[in-house]
């Protein structure tokens, strides 16, 4: 069976999960970057089985996922599943994703996910160690249900309200301070093209989906979350198997090798 795994990742948890998932599934499997597709219109999806791998934000999908899916054209009877990564709990993402697909007269077949280190609120040292060590095993445990095309009717779940991230509005108040050295890494990793260099100064606009890629990859820790005092300048994180170039590439390269 031909499968397309569409992913987004700011700090690598979902990128490594997408790759491991693709390696565990049966048949041909492409791994495709949603950040590279985001600015396209009418995106044809030619796979019989389609998976979306992404981080949970506020019990919901990142804005970029919602926005890109609205432009995707699926074949009828496509088996669509999501495989999320999160620090503690996936919240109401299954219901919200099913609602999104209902706009296209489609439905979500299956929602699975695994705990990973938190890139927003902090995980404990133990949690980071355990989730990274068990990532592969946790994925393998869930693959069978996808191969067997299990289905759950998420339309039966009670309705939920829009989450805080159903639109992009810089709700974390991402800002930059005087430690900035003008390296432009933040511009290169921002999936929303929300950061510009104007007259030698970095400007962060409000079309921000709070992915924190700029925050975690800035080499001088010049970026902070002005509306999130508790974790305003938390320690930086990225998955140990992912490099800055992988995150930059996801904006330009549709297919992951
Ligand atoms: C803005 C934001 C909101 C988040 N909200 C949640 C949440 O509601 N529940 C949760 O368990 N993790 C939450 N997280 C943690 C991420 O889902 C988690 O660390 C994820 O694995 C990061 O994936 P990535 O490395 O692929 O970007 C949030 C992260 C961010 C940046
Ligand atoms: S990544 Fe950091 S140091 Fe580099 S331009 Fe952006 S804010 Fe400045
Ligand atoms: S400005 Fe930073 S946090 Fe906002 S979308 Fe761009 S990279 Fe993500």
Query: Across the 257 residues of the chain, what is the mean pLDDT of every consecutive 10-residue run?
Result: 96 98 94 96 96 98 98 95 98 98 97 98 98 98 97 98 94 97 98 97 97 98 98 98 98 92
Position 1 scores a pLDDT of 85
Position 126 scores a pLDDT of 98
Position 76 scores a pLDDT of 86
Position 123 scores a pLDDT of 98
Q: How far is the CA of 121 from the centre of ligand 1 (A)?
A: 8
CATH architecture of the domain covering 172-248 = 2-Layer Sandwich (3.30)
* CATH T-level fold of 1-154: Rossmann fold (3.40.50)
Q: Which residue out of 31, 118, 238 has the highest number of ligand 1 atoms within 8 Å of its CB and is therefore the one to mutate? A: 118
Q: Which residue out of 177, 178, 179, 186 has the highest number of ligand 2 atoms within 8 Å of its CB and is therefore the one to mutate? A: 186
- SS3 readout for the chain: CCEEEEECCCCCHHHHHHHHHHHHCCCCEEEEEHHHHCCCCCEECCCCEEEEEEECECCECCHHHHHHHCCEECCCCCEEEEEEEECCCCCCHHHHHHHHHHCCCCCCCEEEEEECCCCCCCCCHHHHHHHHHHHHHHHHHHHHHHHCCCCCCHHHCCCCCCCCCCCCCCCCCEEECCCCCCCCHHHHHCCCCCEEEECCEEEECCCCCCCCHHHHHCCCCCEEECCCHHHCCCCCCCCCCCCHHHHHHHHHCCECC
Looking from the CA of residue 220, the nearest atom of ligand 2 is: 3
- Model pTM above 0.95: yes
Map out the domains of the chain as residue ranges. Answer: 1-154, 172-248
């Amino acid at each position: 069976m031909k499968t397309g795994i569409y992913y987004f990742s700011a700090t690598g948890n979902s990128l490594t999960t997408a790759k491991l998932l693709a390696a565990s599934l049966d048949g041909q499997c492409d791994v495709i970057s949603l950040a590279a597709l985001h600015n396209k219109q009418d995106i044809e999806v030619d796979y019989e089985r389609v998976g979306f791998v992404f981080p949970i934000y506020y019990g919901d999908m990142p804005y970029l996922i919602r926005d890109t899916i609205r432009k995707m054209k699926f074949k009828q009877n496509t088996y669509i599943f999501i495989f999320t990564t999160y620090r503690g709990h996936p919240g109401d993402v299954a219901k919200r994703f099913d609602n999104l697909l209902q706009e296209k007269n489609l439905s979500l077949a299956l929602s699975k996910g695994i705990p990973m280190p938190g890139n927003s609120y902090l995980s404990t040292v133990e949690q980071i160690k355990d989730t990274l060590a068990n990532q592969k095993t946790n994925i393998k445990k869930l693959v069978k249900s996808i191969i067997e095309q299990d289905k759950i009717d998420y339309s039966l779940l009670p309705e939920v309200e829009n989450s805080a991230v159903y639109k992009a509005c810089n709700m974390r108040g991402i800002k930059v301070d005087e430690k900035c050295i003008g390296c432009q890494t933040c511009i290169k990793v921002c999936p929303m093209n929300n950061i510009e260099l104007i007259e030698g100064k970095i400007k962060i606009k409000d079309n921000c989906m709070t992915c924190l890629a700029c925050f975690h990859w800035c080499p001088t820790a010049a970026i902070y979350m002005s509306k999130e005092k508790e974790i305003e300048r938390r320690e930086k994180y990225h998955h140990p198997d992912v490099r800055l170039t992988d995150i930059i590439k996801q904006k330009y390269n549709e297919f992951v090798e």
